[in-house]
Amino acid sequence: MLTNRQLQILQVIVDDFIVSAQPVGSRQISKKQGITFSPATIRNEMADLEELGFLEKTHTSSGRVPSEKGYRFYVDHLLSPQGINSKDIQQIQSIFNDRLVEVEHIIRKSANILSELTSYTSILLGPDVQRHRVKRFSIVPLSSDTAVAIIVTNNGHVENRMFNLPPDFTASDLEKMVNILNDRLIGVSLEDLHKSLEAEVLAVLQQHIRSADDFIHALVTATMHNSESKIFYGGKTNMFNQPEFHDLNKVRMILDLMETTSQVQSLFHPNEAGIHIRIGSENKQLEMENCSVITTTYSIGDDQQGAIAIIGPTRMDYKRVVALLDVMRLDLTQAFTKNRSE
């Protein structure tokens, strides 16, 4: 158990290091407001805190730097909730000024503003398309052997995919087919779509249409992929500002990671509510060793979720980012639920 004084010193060190990016020394700490004890005392306490694993030295005679464990403790116990600036709030509100109808635009703008306000990199996941429900199914033939299948979902999202038509497929076949698909599939969520296709629709189609097998097969493969939620980035190069990323290799690894959808997805917690913080190696990715990721989710309508992540150095301004994400999450949720009930 840490003493009050130790808590106070740890807090000062983390707070100071977050803004200065320099190891913090005992003399420096002693000059801070609220510190009533001498550098020597502080040195003793720091030695203890280091032994306990909360602090580290960069070399024998350097000041102290928070360890991952130190950040973790700071985040868990020393993070007083902070109000945010009215100017910041105004800027966030500006996202919703434009009466944008489309979810995509709002999210894109949010990503940019978040990265501006934090000066870190933001990643926003759009609604989980998998959970949208089919509103309308249509097929538009392009030539004798290709067609586009189009699915419109209840939220106005449109999926489309080209596929090959079986050779002896007539226009009336197509019409029958579309009718059957619309009869059976409306209301089915995209994630259940190919299950439903195979389970319910296949049999019916086989009765009515020649070469339904081929067709369904083409359709199933077409609907199976390509339904990840879209990813929006803000301030991709913001990390160049941080002194810890003056190393080209680190930056490169992180930028490469952000190009890989699966890696980006794994930054997010699977749909848990609230704000989550992962510090340094708590991220499974090697590339993120020196990064912290703060994530949260927002709601779109009743049953859908999007997610937000902020990526910065472990020396991140946790207090501010948490506060901003909290506002952002609520505002987005509000905007999207209002939007739908209108």
Partner DNA sequence: GTTAGCACTCGACTAAGAGGAGTGCTAATA
Partner DNA sequence: TATTAGCACTCCTCTTAGTCGAGTGCTAAC
Residues near a second copy (CB under 8 A):
101-102, 135-136, 138, 140, 142-143, 145-146, 148, 150, 152, 154-156, 158, 160-164, 236-237, 240, 246, 248-249, 251-252, 255-256, 259, 340, 342
Q: Which does 156 bind (CB under 5 to 8 A by kind): DNA, a second copy, none?
A: a second copy
Chain-centroid distance of CA 214 in Å reads 38
Residue with tokens 């497929």: 169
Q: Count other Cβ atoms within 10 Å, centred on residue 254.
A: 20
Among a second copy, DNA, none, the one that 37 touches (CB under a kind-dependent 5 to 8 A) is: DNA
Tell the smallest beta-carbon distance from residue 40 to DNA (Å). 4
Residue whose CB is less far from a second copy, 184 or 329: 184
Instruction: Output 21 or 47, the one with its CB closest to a second copy.
Output: 21
Contact indicator for 188, 133 with CB cutoff of 8 Å: yes
Q: Considering the complex, state which of residue 16 and residue 173 has its C-beta at the smaller distance from DNA.
A: 16
Closer residue to a second copy (CB): 133 or 194: 133
- Least Å from the CB of residue 258 to a second copy: 9
Give the shortest CB-333-to-DNA separation in angstroms: 44
Question: Binding marks (x or -) toward DNA, 7..36, rule CB under 7 A?
Answer: ----------------xxxxxx-------x
How many Å is the Cα radius of gyration of the chain? 26
Task: Tell me whether residue 104 or residue 200 sits nearer to a second copy (CB atom).
Answer: 104
Closest approach of DNA to the CB of residue 248, in Å: 17
CB of 239 to DNA, least distance (A): 20
Give residues 34-73 in contact with DNA (rule: CB under 7 A): 36-41, 43-44, 46-47, 50, 57-64
Nearest to a second copy of 259, 272 (CB atom)? 259
- Alpha-carbon distance of 327 to 287, in angstroms, equals 29
Least distance (Å) between residue 160 CB and a second copy: 4
Whichever of 41 and 211 has its CB closer to DNA, that residue is 41
The neighbour count for residue 153, using CB atoms within 10 Å, is 18
Question: Please, what is the minimum distance in Å from the beta carbon of residue 154 to a second copy?
Answer: 7
Q: Are 215 and 178 in contact (CB under 8 A)?
A: no
Residue 86 interacts with which of a second copy, DNA, none, CB < 5 to 8 Å by class = none
Chain centroid, CA 47 distance in Å: 38
Partner that binds at residue 39, options a second copy, DNA, none, CB closer than 5 to 8 Å by kind: DNA
Tell the smallest beta-carbon distance from residue 316 to DNA (Å): 22
166 in contact with DNA (CB under 7 A) = no
Smaller CB separation from DNA, 17 or 120? 17
Residues that bind DNA (CB under 7 A): 5, 23-28, 36-41, 43-44, 46-47, 50, 57-64
